[in-house]
């Protein structure tokens, strides 16, 4: 029986990724999924003998049943990128955001990316090894936020990342403020931003390939306050 490769990822604080090779997929039923859900790497390892730390991987959506965009646009990108980076790029089922195809999810960081090509996939994987995104995917054209965050948090963080040119995937944290529409974005070096969000609804955008326009909502972000670091910050 051929081997199966299973990847176990935690995209929260201090992301990690494990790769488990097994001959019987039924053995996955023995995994401690509760531990995986809370990011307890040691407990997951205890339930998955033989699992090893893995390099970052990229999942590219190729689910044509959900949306033809993902098959027509996503599959060629996945195949070309996989040829260049064997074992690091995988075809995936629906990941969301199909109208932005080709779409991808970088694990373990959970960065969701849009409108990718094969060269960008390679750049993403190279930078991910250092915990970064390439500068070429910053901004609303490609960066759709990290999956561990809520929608508004993703929008606020992505806005700051693009505006300030921050590539480090673990450099920023996001929290709500007393104002329902304003989020605080904090850099580990001490810088901070207040980002105001506005929910906009469009009536003239197609939800996916070949379909009529529908009501589609997005977030508009703008920086309303910024705190510049005034003294050095020590890092452990």
Tens-binned pLDDT, residue by residue, of the chain (236 aa): 568 999 999 999 999 999 999 999 899 999 999 999 999 999 999 999 999 999 999 999 998 887 788 889 999 999 999 999 999 999 998 887 778 889 999 999 999 999 999 999 999 999 999 999 999 999 999 999 999 999 999 999 999 999 999 999 999 999 999 998 999 999 999 999 999 999 988 877 777 776 777 778 889 999 998 887 544 433 32
Angle between the 118-128 and 75-84 helix axes, to the nearest 10 degrees? 50
Q: Is residue 11 part of a domain?
A: yes
Tell me the residue range of the domain where 10 lies. Answer: 4-53
Q: Which residues pair with 10 in a beta bridge?
A: 16
Same domain, 83 and 38: no
Same domain, 44 and 110: no
Residue 236: per-residue pLDDT: 29
Same domain, 71 and 34: no
Residue 2: per-residue pLDDT: 66
Last residue of a domain, which of 34, 53, 72?
53
Sequence-separated (6 or more) residues with CB below 8 Å from residue 188 = 170, 171, 172, 173, 233, 235
Last residue of a domain, which of 53, 70, 86?
53
Q: Is residue 176 part of a domain?
A: yes
Q: Is residue 84 part of a domain?
A: yes
Q: Is residue 233 part of a domain?
A: no
Residue 232: per-residue pLDDT: 43
Q: What is the domain count for the chain?
A: 2
What is the rounded CA–CA span in Å between residue 225 and residue 196?
9
Enter the tokens of residue 35: 């531990």
Q: Which residues pair with 64 in a beta bridge?
A: none
Same domain, 124 and 201: yes
Strand 111-113 versus strand 57-61 pairing type: unpaired
Same domain, 36 and 129: no
Same domain, 36 and 107: no
Angle at 132 between CA 126 and CA 136, to 5 degrees: 75
Instruction: Give the DSSP letter string of the chain.
Output: ---EEEEEEE-SSS-EEEEEEES-GGGGGGS-HHHHHHT-HHHHHHHSTT-EE---EEEEE--TTT-HHIIIIIHHHHHHHHHHSTTTEEEES--S-GGG-S-EEEETTTEEE-S--HHHHHHHHHHHTTTB--GGG-STTTEEEETTS-HHHHHHHHHHHHHHT--BTTSEEEEE-SSTTEEEEEETTS-EEEEEEEEEEEEEEESSTT--EEEEEEEEEEEEEEE---S-----
Same domain, 177 and 121: yes
Residue 94: per-residue pLDDT: 81
Same domain, 129 and 154: yes
pTM: 0.91
Same domain, 197 and 95: yes
Same domain, 88 and 160: yes
Same domain, 108 and 214: yes
Last residue of a domain, which of 14, 38, 53?
53
Residue 95: per-residue pLDDT: 81
Same domain, 100 and 193: yes
Q: Is residue 183 part of a domain?
A: yes
Q: Is residue 129 part of a domain?
A: yes
Q: Is residue 236 part of a domain?
A: no
Residue 229: per-residue pLDDT: 58
Residue 69: per-residue pLDDT: 84
């Amino acid at each position: 029986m051929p081997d199966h490769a299973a990847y176990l990822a935690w995209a929260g604080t201090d992301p990690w990724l494990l790769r488990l090779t097994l001959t019987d997929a039924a053995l996955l039923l023995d995994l401690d999924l509760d531990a995986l859900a809370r990011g307890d790497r040691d407990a997951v390892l205890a339930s998955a003998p033989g699992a090893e730390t893995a390099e970052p991987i990229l999942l590219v959506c190729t689910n044509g049943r959900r949306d033809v965009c993902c098959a027509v646009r996503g599959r060629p990108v996945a195949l070309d990128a996989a040829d260049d980076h064997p074992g690091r790029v995988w075809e995936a089922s629906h990941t969301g955001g199909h109208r932005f195809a080709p779409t991808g999810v970088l694990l373990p960081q959970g960065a969701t990316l849009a409108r990718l090509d094969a060269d960008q996939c390679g750049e993403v994987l190279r930078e991910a090894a250092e915990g970064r995104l390439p500068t070429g995917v910053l901004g609303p054209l490609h960066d759709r936020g990290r999956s561990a965050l809520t929608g508004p948090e993703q929008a606020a963080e992505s806005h700051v990342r693009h505006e300030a040119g921050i590539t480090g995937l673990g450099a920023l944290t996001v929290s709500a403020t007393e104002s329902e529409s304003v989020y605080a974005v904090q850099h580990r070096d001490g810088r901070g931003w207040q980002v105001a969000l506005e929910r906009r609804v469009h009536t003239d955008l197609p939800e996916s390939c070949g379909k009529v326009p529908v009501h589609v909502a997005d977030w508009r972000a703008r920086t309303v306050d910024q705190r510049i670091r005034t003294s050095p910050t020590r890092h452990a």
